[in-house]
Amino acid sequence: MAGAEGATHPNGNANGAVVEEKLDELRRQLGKADGDPLRIVGVGAGAWGSVFCALLQDAYGHLRDKAQVRIWRRPGRAVDRATAGHLFDVINAREDVLRRLIRRCAYLKYVEARLGDRTLYADEILRDGFCLNMIDTPLCPLKVVTNLQEAVWDADIVVNGLPSTDTREVFGEIGRYWKERITAPIIISLAKGIEASLDPMPRIITPTQMISNATGVPLENILYLGGPNIASEIYNKEYANARICGADKWRKPLAKFLRQPHFIVWDNSDLITHEVMGGLKNVYAIGAGLVAALTNESATSKSVYFALCTSEMIYITHLLEEEPEKLAGPLLADTYVTLLKGRNAWYGQKLAKGELTLEMGDSIKGKGTIQGVSAVDAFYELLSQDSLSVMHPEGNRSVAPVEMCPILKALHRILIKRDRPADSILQAIRDETMYDPRERIEMAQGHSLYRPSLLGQPKGDVKA
């Protein structure tokens, strides 16, 4: 792959006529003049945000007169000595990385950091191709900007790599810089998380909506990209797919622009619901991690949990979507990969083992923000509202939807109320009065559960 220096990635990536044609096509659609490069800016440098920008740098960075890729991250985040030592080992295990750093006269500072003679900073190592949340996977060198206004003021495409919990604040600041813009940029959001709003009615607010509200950029220019993937594996060219969701105007051109031989990008018009599903799977991934650790990786217990949690997710999708069946594949695929190797399942395991505590917060060194924690709170708060009531199958009585989601209730008590220990998740899945998962799915399919107000829409609106 071609890095910031025009170097070639050891896995190889032909930057030929096809790549340049894709870039030229998108430039034409954006009305870019000759000599004016397409400016792509990543905002936030977590694992997926950094990998996404590195993929674009590898694909298009050698075409310097036509494309410019850069990434913003906050300055001043120090790399502790233990991490610096591990980073030094990673560098020396990869001859290509070692040679590149020596050639850039950058190797000595990693030697000094390992010895404790100097402090490295996250933005500094990112310029050399190392993401603080993904030390074991060297990237190509990236153009890093620590001044947010400088990074975004003239951007054509902005990639939101921030956690959902930071999106509103940072894009509120960006919105002030864009007040004088004549044309709106395109924004691709990678964030998987939601907020709850109860006024004037209970509804979900997604990162794309936060961005539109904060910046004034119309929703047709804001897209969501998600899929069943792990950032480090994508950069190492494991075959993966993703889906870019949004309005017709940009999703197909961007799907074509982002597609690579090992990273297939499909497109879909259903922006908000796919975005919400990206947050929902993080909720249940934390529970999966708890169960795995508490049962010593019992395959039987994990399968019981999977059956129960997927039935709850299916139930919730029937509340959110008039035709929920079309979401089953993407939701289950994303859930599966997150349970296998995602940070939310990892977090659940560490909590259950006592290696992490809730008092440490949901931003974990070396992993970034655990977005499932805030998503548990948001989904619980929304589904607890009596105004969204559903019929309980027993007693012909009306209840809040959360009463049909015992795992979500248990996770809320463990993670948010903190009045139950981690092992109470096992009580939730072993309750002899719990419904067969099949019955919950049948309830969802047999009743009119759809509550379009949850996504802030009247019935029949198109979510694109």
Catalytic residues: 281
Burial class from Cβ neighbours inside 10 Å (0-12, 13-18, 19+) for residue 251 reads: buried
Query: What's the CA gap between 322 and 270, in Å, rounded?
Result: 12
H or E stretch covering 241? strand 240-245
Cβ pair 463, 455 in contact under 8 A: yes
As given in the structure block, the two tokens for residue 144 are 């890093």
Given strand 222-226, what is the order of strands in its sheet?
144-145, 67-72, 38-43, 157-160, 186-189, 222-226, 240-245, 263-268
Any idea of the CA torsion for 254, 257, 263, 266, to the nearest 10 degrees?
40
Q: What is residue 421's three-state secondary structure?
A: coil
Strand partners, 399: 390
Query: What's the CA gap between 245 and 247, in Å, rounded?
Result: 7
Cα distances (angstroms) measured from residue 151 to each of 16, 44, 139: 28, 11, 20
Those residues with Cβ within 8 angstroms of residue 14's Cβ, 6 or more apart along the chain or in another chain:
none
User: What is the three-state SS of 223-238?
Assistant: EEEECCCCHHHHHCCC
Q: Which amino acid type is present at position 93?
A: A
